Amino acid sequence: MNQPSVLFVCLGNICRSPMAEAALRARAAEAGIAVTVDSAGTGDWHVGRPPDRRAIIEAGRHGIDISGYRARQAKAEDFLRFSHIFALDPQNLRDLQTIAPRRHLARLGLLMDLVPGREGTAVIDPYYGEAEDFERAWADVSAAADVLIGRLGR
């Protein structure tokens, strides 16, 4: 893998992980850093569907259109395609550990471990919440994207 590649994983791939994908894509473009970015879910309920309308609205508030994103399920091959795979909460991290091939190239971790003072915490799952929960999730994924860009840019 010549250029870094990052996969964000949440449960259904319609709220948190597409927002994380969007935040990192935007930060990478601003910084002029070449990085492949994608997102997926550990579950298969939403495969092929666009992000939750509230996630689309929140990303749009930051000038990013994610309406064309489509949910997909994480698979073992992702561990060979991506240099970094970040789960958005501890349960999805455990689920990813169960599907990871014995030998793989990806660095697997919890996204908020990147943010000082947030180690071991989850990005809030806004699915059953209100607009403010999507704002909080965006703030989390944006903070992590900023740290990640700093690390990838070295």
The whole-number mean pLDDT for each consecutive block of 10 residues of the chain, a chain of 154 residues, reads 90 97 97 96 96 98 98 97 97 96 92 97 96 97 97 81
Instruction: State residue 105's pLDDT score.
Output: 85
Q: Which two tokens stand for residue 153?
A: 């840019």
Q: What is the DSSP letter of 31?
A: H
Domain of 80: which CATH number? 3.40.50.2300
C-alpha 61: how far from chain center = 18
Whose tokens are 């492949």? That residue is: 36
Angle at 20 between CA 104 and CA 51, to 5 degrees: 105
Distance between CA 125 and CA 21 in Å, rounded?
15
Contact indicator for 12, 71 with CB cutoff of 8 Å: yes
Q: Which two tokens stand for residue 125?
A: 């799952």
What domain range includes position 126? Answer: 5-152
Neighbours of 17 (CB within 10 A): 33
Number of structural domains found in the chain: 1
Instruction: State residue 154's pLDDT score.
Output: 67
- Listed in sequence order, the DSSP H helices in the chain are 16-31, 53-61, 78-81, 90-99, 131-152
Distance between CA 26 and CA 33 in Å, rounded?
10
Instruction: State residue 104's pLDDT score.
Output: 87
Q: Which residues are catalytic?
A: 10, 16, 125
